[in-house]
Structure 1
Amino acid sequence: MARAAGIAADTGKTVVGWHQLGQSDQLPPGTVGQYWGYLEPEGDDAAEARSIVDQGGQLIMSPADVAYLDMKYDILTPHGLTWAKGPTRIEDAYGWDPAAVLPGVEEEQLLGVEAPMWTETLRTMDDVEQMAMPRLAAMAEVAWTPQAARDYAEFVPRLVTLARHWDAEGVHYLRPHGIPWP
């Protein structure tokens, strides 16, 4: 990894990779790692992510158990996967704090959040839309709204309003239980 990262950096490129890049102690400054472990880091995940910032890099946060859009919403969701500790409810996607996941990593060392979607189980754009919406709206709030200003009870009515726009545009979104969908 050190050799490959060095070659890329020498061409003026920003090195970006999964947090396992932190296994190397010779990363170029400015390396960006994507933390895709869990909200409760396992094994060496936290140390590897910290290694990236200790070497002058930053992190993109996308814990698989709350940020991956290809995870089922519940056991009845027709598409998606469950490898990231089971289904990811919309409340889970909304309720995490990117700055509280990795001990020793400060908020200013976080570049942002990512909501990945792997599509090996999704066959159509309707499938993709159903997995992305409404969880993508929750992820947008995680990314753009300070933790102290977020409140799930206040988010739900805004989500319902957004769903009306999706309906008007023909977006095929999923309607998880517990939300008064239009």
Structure 2
Amino acid sequence: MRQMAAMTPGPYLHLGGDESLSTPEVDFVRFIERVTTDAAQTGKTIIGWHEMGAATAMPRGTIGQYWSFTRPQEGAEDDTMTFVRNGGQVILSPADVAYLDMVYETGTEFGQAWAEGPTSVRESYGWKPTRIIDGIGEEQILGIEAPIWTETLHRMQDVEYMAFPRLASVMEIAWSPKADHDQHDFETFAPRAVAFSERLEAAGIGYHRAPDLPWTDAAQ
């Protein structure tokens, strides 16, 4: 961790901490509390997936990254609140709307479907960050991240296909003020997503022609 901290210019160090499914909880908690304390001594602000919230003695200000669904599953809400109670903030990456490696619709070539099935462009646009967990509002949200895991992707063209145009949905959700969230309208967004895709095409960047967008002959 000292080597990683020395190599990276940013203020953060992400430790992971999820999917420790074969580790007894008492051992997991003890390890997380120890390793976050050690990592914080590098001077970095520590980030971990929300499961790390099972440990309540992490360094103050540790940041949690939430990857459960827009309706929290299996203790994810309580684990995430640990970071807020400890003076930290939260990065939101709800898998059912923000994971870019989820299939667009049944039958598409790439991606996975474990996050409650396919994620259309419409679904990736239709959520509100401040309404996922009670007690986590705009002040507690550090930002939004749209992960793309590549175990089913082999070429950059595959990555572009999965990322675009859904990334435009997540970007607009992430960068809009809270006051604008109730004004978001997919029917207004959809033509802009098509125009965005046309600009990508002009730049030589690939994308998926999602069936829920109003494509024109010019975009074919």
Structure 1 length normalisation: TM-score?
Answer: 0.97
The offset of 1:35, in angstroms, is: 0.1
- Residue segments in structure 1 that go unaligned for 5+ positions in a row: none
Moved more, 11-20 or 144-153: 144-153
User: C-alpha offsets along residues 38-58 of structure 1, whole Å, 9 cap, x if unaligned?
Assistant: 111112110000011101111
Which residue does 2:46 correspond to in 1? 15
The offset of 1:167, in angstroms, is: 1.5
Taking the aligned partners of 2:71 and 2:212, their CA distance within structure 1 comes to 26
The offset of 1:145, in angstroms, is: 1.3
The offset of 1:164, in angstroms, is: 1.4
- Residue segments in structure 2 that go unaligned for 5+ positions in a row: 1-31
How many residue pairs match? The answer is: 182
Structure 2 length normalisation: TM-score?
Answer: 0.80
**What are the residue-to-residue correspondences of 1:19-98 with 2, within 5 Å?**
19-98=50-129
Q: Does 1:151 align with 2:185?
A: yes
Taking the aligned partners of 2:107 and 2:55, their CA distance within structure 1 comes to 41
Taking the aligned partners of 2:40 and 2:142, their CA distance within structure 1 comes to 18
Which residue does 1:160 correspond to in 2? 194
Aligned residues of 2:92 and 2:144 also touching (Cα < 8 A): yes
Which residue does 2:161 correspond to in 1? 130
The offset of 1:174, in angstroms, is: 0.1
Provide the identity percentage: 47
In the TM superposition, structure 1's runs of 4+ consecutive aligned residues that sit over 6 Å from their partners are none
The offset of 1:18, in angstroms, is: 0.2
The residue identity in structure 2 corresponding to 1:55 is: N
The offset of 1:104, in angstroms, is: 1.8
The offset of 1:178, in angstroms, is: 2.5
Taking the aligned partners of 2:168 and 2:78, their CA distance within structure 1 comes to 30
Moved more, 87-96 or 142-151: 142-151
RMSD of Structure 2 on Structure 1 (CA): 1.0
Q: Which has the higher contact order (CA 8 A, sep 6+)?
A: 1
Larger Rg: 2
Taking the aligned partners of 2:119 and 2:159, their CA distance within structure 1 comes to 16
Taking the aligned partners of 1:153 and 1:180, their CA distance within structure 2 comes to 9
User: C-alpha offsets along residues 114-172 of structure 1, whole Å, 9 cap, x if unaligned?
Assistant: 00000000011110000000000000001001313422111111111111111211211
